[in-house]
A = this chain, B = another copy of it.
């Protein structure tokens, strides 16, 4: 593990070297049944091929063979954090994902708008899957909720789904869900895991009481179910661990959220790749103390999840065409990788390890290597855990000292 008692003193913090980690979400894929070629093998990627011709290639695995990660654990692994033990709770991820004002000490939870009858029994756990615009309107109504000593923020997600963030003294996340999972029952009473969680239960019950009153005349969404209580994840920052000044450049709020959890600065930007690269270039020029840039590209994953093989191929080619914009900056180390694989033929995240290239003055290129699942399987980096990538990034940047004399 990169962050341990043994490695603690190895990080060189006075280096002027600068690292770019380009994360193409859902990068890895699987062969198309007709062509036998994966998305990466189908795409025409001259710039990425050129990187592989002078970089070290390999495959990285977020959770080890067979295990498929969500975005949270997959990114934490990329940043060198143990993805099993550092995982971010569902409520917290929603809080991060919605770009809510969410900080250490806060507690987030997920909300489902639902329908209850006159006796308070749940008749529809999803309130007829109300459209997102109604969800937005109802969340606005819930902003009026006032609980002494606690700031409450509610934000719409999709359809009947929303999230809430509680801020105040003595809040915690050892609280059970109210979702009864079946209709015809009352919402479950919230229960505290320990005495220390009693205040959070009391606060959440006040919240639910006010929700019930505010939504009483709405239909079909006249109540909420609350679940997945989670504190803001408190991880050591990348400054503390590695001595870096890291910046997260991501159009999607959730990825800025994950980046901020590990201590990155996360300036806002559009989710369009060119806007992200504009921001990267501007920060690179104007903030010469910043030395680690995480750049996130979202649409490849969405195309994979939609099962749109051709679109994923096209998006990879679009990204390839923009690689020169990063090379212009002459980073000491450029890494191109993904958080996990999203094969179009599976329409989902998968466990398959992710093609990766590290370009620096200390790479070991393998002839004919390309950024693909099969080519990277025989690259000079081998097949390694995603958690090992940060150590390699720092080593290639001259930021890891020798261990032992």
Residue positions of A touching B, CB distance < 8 A: 2, 4, 6-7, 10, 30-31, 38, 59, 63-74, 83-85, 87-88, 90, 93-94, 343, 345-346, 348-353, 362, 364-366, 373-374, 377-384, 388-395, 400-405
Q: Do residues A395 and B364 form an inter-chain contact, with CB atoms below 8 A? A: no
When C-beta atoms are compared, the residue in chain B nearest to A391 turns out to be B66
Which B residues are in CB contact (< 8 Å) with A7? 67
| Structural contact, B378 and A378, CB atoms closer than 8 A | yes
User: Residues of B contacting A374 with CB < 8 Å?
Assistant: 364, 366, 380
The answer for the CA separation of A362 and B346 in the assembled complex, in Å, is 8
Q: Counting chain B CB atoms within 10 Å of each CB, which of A74, A383, A403 scores highest?
A: A403
Complex Cα distance A380/B74, Å? 20
A6 touches B364 (CB 8 A): no
Q: Which residue of B lies closest to A31 (CB)?
A: B364
The CB with the most chain B CB atoms within 10 A, among A31, A343, A362, A394, is that of: A362
With A374-B380, A377-B380, A378-B378 known as contacts, the answer to whether A400 contacts B31 (CB < 8 A) is no
B87 x A404 contact (CB < 8 A): yes
A402 touches B69 (CB 8 A): yes
**Are the CB atoms of A382 and B377 closer together than 8 Å?**
yes
The CA-CA distance from A390 to B388 in the complex, in Å, is 23
Ordered by A's residue number, 7 sampled pairs between the chains whose C-beta atoms are within 8 Å are: A4-B84, A59-B382, A65-B384, A65-B388, A72-B405, A351-B400, A366-B377
Question: Chain B: which residue is nearest A361 at the CB level?
Answer: B345
Residues in chain B near residue A59, CB distance under 8 A = 382
Known: A7-B67, A394-B66. A402 touches B352 (CB 8 A): no
A31 to B378, CA, bound (A): 18
With contacts A374-B380, A402-B349 taken as known, whether A391 is within 8 angstroms of B67 at the C-beta atoms is yes
Min CB–CB distance A134 → chain B (angstroms) = 24
Find out whether the CB atom of A67 lies under 8 angstroms from the CB atom of B400.
yes
A353 touches B382 (CB 8 A): yes
- Are B362 and A350 neighbours in the complex by a CB distance under 8 Å? yes
- Please, how many angstroms separate the alpha-carbon atoms of A392 and B63 in the complex? 12
New A-B pairs, 19, CB < 8 Å, besides A31-B365, A93-B405, A377-B378: A4-B84, A38-B364, A65-B391, A66-B391, A66-B394, A66-B400, A67-B391, A67-B395, A70-B404, A70-B405, A73-B403, A87-B403, A87-B404, A346-B362, A351-B400, A364-B373, A364-B374, A366-B377, A382-B383
3 nearest A-B pairs in the assembled complex, by CB-CB distance: A66-B391, A382-B383, A70-B404
